[in-house]
Amino acid sequence: MKEDELKIYAQLMKTRFMEDPGMMFQINDLERAGLLVDLQFEGQIQAFDRQNAVSVLDGGKGLLIGYSTGELPEEKLFEMLQQSAQKLLETATEDELLWLQKKAVQEAEIIPQNWHLKYFDGDVYHLLTIAIDKSLKGTGAFRDLIMPVIQACENKKLPMVLETFNSENVPLYEHFGFKLMESHPSEAMHLTCFCMMR
């Protein structure tokens, strides 16, 4: 993905996720939140794009990030995400990094790692992100992005999993055949992690 495209899709993610409960929890009270989120999303898109794990709708209108755990094992994923955070690490102050790290650790407490293994002990497709331009709501853009992935997973008999902090996403994913398997609330953070599988 070229640099100008990268910035367009990172902006789309930022626009869509600034209202997400999980993102709001991470960046609340950070003065340079907008800049840090830009760098975080640019790094993520770039890293997953190198692994052919990004699908887009032309013109910055939609983006999907997801990967097969068989093709991208945890060690490789961790290394890739470290590389993706390089710009953020170079730009953020020590206080900002400590804040983001603290929030990530807190969020991780309610996202059970590999929760899906109790339901399916094998490789899965991990759907990380779908962002659609607000102007395309109701046009089938979400379907256009997710259906090729669902079809590919069905062909490979590969279950799909995802986590979301946004309760409004649950019925949307249920419409596409996902089932809510677990939910993990935290009163202290005012967050709930919804774990879904298809």
| Residue-wise pLDDT tens digits, 108-125 | 889 988 999 999 999 999
Between 151 and 72, the higher pLDDT residue: 151
Q: How far apart are CA 141 and CA 129, in angstroms?
A: 14
Instruction: Provide the pLDDT for residue 77.
Output: 87
Contacts of 42 (CB under 8 A, 6+ apart): 6, 7, 10, 87
Predicted pLDDT of residue 19: 82
- In angstroms, the CA 35 to CA 37 distance is 5
Cα–Cα distance, 9 to 38 (Å, whole number): 10
Residue from 105, 134, 98, 101 nearest 14 by CA: 134
Asked if the model's pLDDT at residue 26 lies above 90, the reply is: no
Among 37-41, 78-82, 159-163, 181-185, the least confident range = 78-82
**Angle, CA of 83, 128 and 139, to the nearest 5°:** 130
How many other CB atoms are there within 10 angstroms of residue 5's CB atom? 15
What is the tens place of the pLDDT at every residue in 135-171? Answer: 998 899 999 999 999 999 999 999 999 999 999 999 9
Strand partners, 68: 125
User: What per-residue confidence (pLDDT) applies to 115?
Assistant: 95
The half-sphere exposure of 131 on its side-chain side, counting CA atoms within 13 A, is 23
22 pLDDT more than 90 = no
Domains of the chain (ranges plus CATH)?
Answer: 3-197 (3.40.630.30)
Give the Cβ contact number of residue 108 at 10 Å: 11
